[in-house]
Amino acid sequence: MKFLTKLGSVIKNIKTSYASGEISTSNTPEYDSVPDFGGSRTTIPRFTIGGGGSFGALPRKTQQDLELDDKQLGKSSVEDLTDALIDAHPDVSFAVWNFVRLANSEYVISVTNVENDDEFEQGKEEVDLLIKRLAQPNVEQFQSSRDIRKVLNQLILTTVVRGAASMELVLTDGLDDVAFLAPVDPVTVDFLFENDRYVPYQDDESISLDSPTFFYEELDAMVDDPYGRSPILGALNIVLFQLQVLNDIKAVVHNQGYPRFDVTILEEVLLNRMPIGIRSNEAKKQKWLSDKLNEIINMYNNLDPDDAFVHFNSVTVDTAGGGKGGGAMIDPDKLMSALDGLVTAGLKTLSTILGRRSTGNTESFAKLEIKLYLKGIEGIQNVVERVISRALTLFLNIKGLQGVVEFKFKPSEIRSDLEQEQFRQTKLINIQFMRDQGWIDQKEAAKLAVGHAPVADGPIDNTTPTNGDGETPAGTTDTNPQAGGNTEE
């Protein structure tokens, strides 16, 4: 208890010192903290669209998704259906997981001058400082992380699920710096065609997003269509059908898939044992037979699994349903194999990625599948790269600097470290050969090799060493016979 009290006192002193300016770092912003949906931010979160959800606790959406069934999903909008399936459906969830994990690879940021491709060092320093500042915690109050990695993860996720990525560059109150990068759910953005151009809006066109600080990039959009297309959209119908089939299989298996008891009651024997006073009264007769039937039903329903069957010969017991050996009649694997192929195609995730590689596929075929899959990952990354590049370029302009920022993801690697180094060695040899042949200069060679400008104007000391006479040193022959050398001169 003393430890917690002391810790609370330390945190309080830190907050007081930070607020009073006694504590500062190279990343300390020179402005007051901007709330997640405050300051200059124009966009609003999805849960407030239509005026709802501004106050009160937010629902745990994952729990809601797991409580849905195929009938409820069939009545949902495309967006709500997609959100539910990425939580509740194994194949959809796994496909989105792989897309996001592979797409959010390491990245490289380069800043060049507007006039030429020379590196703009001051602009690069400003961008690096912004990214470092976004990762810092808020020591005054709770604040959701604004780290660039989190922003990238959310932009990749919306690109996969929505087919687009959108973000707002939230400025400080003085409009002279960037407070943070705020991803926006593209499904909340609508476009109107005004004055011969597309204008974005939110909340039933009540909030205009016609600002240079708002960015929207689509994936595989059709001509004259500002909205993108989600790569997993084609799987929705077949996934719903798959869920319906699974429910049907569940009902059939429950009813007929496994053996059940077939109990036959010999009515003639019961009639012979019926009291004489009841036989002449049809109503009493039917009631007596019904009571006996229920008595036998209750008796068998209350049997324990290891109880023996002991009964009069008025009852015969057999089994019904199931196979000859009492096993299941239905093989779900055969019934679902065709649907699995359609789901795999709809999710743009090939069988090797989903762990459904058949025995007929060779290793070469699997590598080809993965190569095609990685090309799809590059398409998703390209959308996010365009958003971040434009946003960081605008950040430099706000800071009064003229530069062009290029944000690029590094290729996603599935090869081992040894394989990567072998390919890298071959690549560097080829780049060196092109430079030595005069096909490219040192600057272009450095860009291809390491991604930045060269540290020297040319090759560093790659000349052959010479002796004092300016000649190439030559080896000498050891003539000492005791050393085993050649004695001939």
pLDDT digits (tens, 9 = 90+) for 238-247: 888 777 777 7
The one-character DSSP state at 186 is G
The one-character DSSP state at 46 is G
For residue 95 the two structure tokens come to 């496909």
Cβ(356)–Cβ(344) below 8 Å:
yes
Q: Which residue has the higher pLDDT, 141 or 400?
A: 400
pLDDT digits (tens, 9 = 90+) for 139-154: 888 888 899 999 999 9
Q: Given the structure tokens 């319906």, which residue do they identify? A: 244
Distance separating alpha carbons of residues 165 and 211, to the nearest angstrom: 16
Cβ(282)–Cβ(271) below 8 Å:
no
Distance separating alpha carbons of residues 242 and 88, to the nearest angstrom: 13
pLDDT (mean) for 294-309: 76
Q: Which residue has the higher pLDDT, 63 or 95?
A: 95
How much is the CA Rg of the chain, to the nearest whole Å? 36
The domain spans of the chain are 31-51+58-230+377-406, 260-320, 415-450
* Band (329; pLDDT cuts 50, 70, 90): low
pLDDT (mean) for 203-211: 88
pLDDT digits (tens, 9 = 90+) for 436-475: 898 998 888 888 888 777 887 766 655 555 666 766 666 5
pLDDT digits (tens, 9 = 90+) for 303-315: 776 667 666 666 6
State phi, psi for 165 to the nearest 5 degrees.
-130, 130
Mean residue pLDDT across the chain: 77
Cβ(180)–Cβ(147) below 8 Å:
no
User: What is residue 201's three-state secondary structure?
Assistant: strand
pLDDT given at position 304: 75
For residue 465 the two structure tokens come to 């060493």
pLDDT given at position 25: 46
Per-residue pLDDT for 26 more than 70?
A: no
Cβ(208)–Cβ(60) below 8 Å:
no
User: What is residue 240's three-state secondary structure?
Assistant: helix
Per-residue pLDDT for 374 more than 60?
A: yes
- Max mean pLDDT range (187-196, 228-237, 368-377, 444-453): 187-196
User: What is residue 204's three-state secondary structure?
Assistant: coil
* Band (54; pLDDT cuts 50, 70, 90): very low
pLDDT (mean) for 72-96: 80
pLDDT given at position 392: 95
* Band (58; pLDDT cuts 50, 70, 90): very low
pLDDT digits (tens, 9 = 90+) for 106-133: 999 999 998 887 889 999 999 999 999 9
pLDDT given at position 288: 84
pLDDT given at position 74: 63
pLDDT given at position 237: 80
pLDDT given at position 407: 95
pLDDT given at position 416: 76
Per-residue pLDDT for 88 more than 90?
A: no
Closest CA to 347 of 85, 92, 78, 88: 92
pLDDT (mean) for 47-76: 56
* Band (18; pLDDT cuts 50, 70, 90): very low
Percent of the chain with pLDDT over 70: 71
Distance separating alpha carbons of residues 317 and 310, to the nearest angstrom: 10
Question: What is the sign of the dihedral through the CA atoms of 301, 305, 311 and 315?
Answer: positive
Closest CA to 71 of 254, 243, 236: 243
Distance separating alpha carbons of residues 218 and 421, to the nearest angstrom: 35
pLDDT given at position 320: 62
pLDDT (mean) for 18-23: 47
User: What is residue 166's three-state secondary structure?
Assistant: strand
For residue 330 the two structure tokens come to 């239905």
pLDDT (mean) for 262-277: 76
The one-character DSSP state at 119 is B
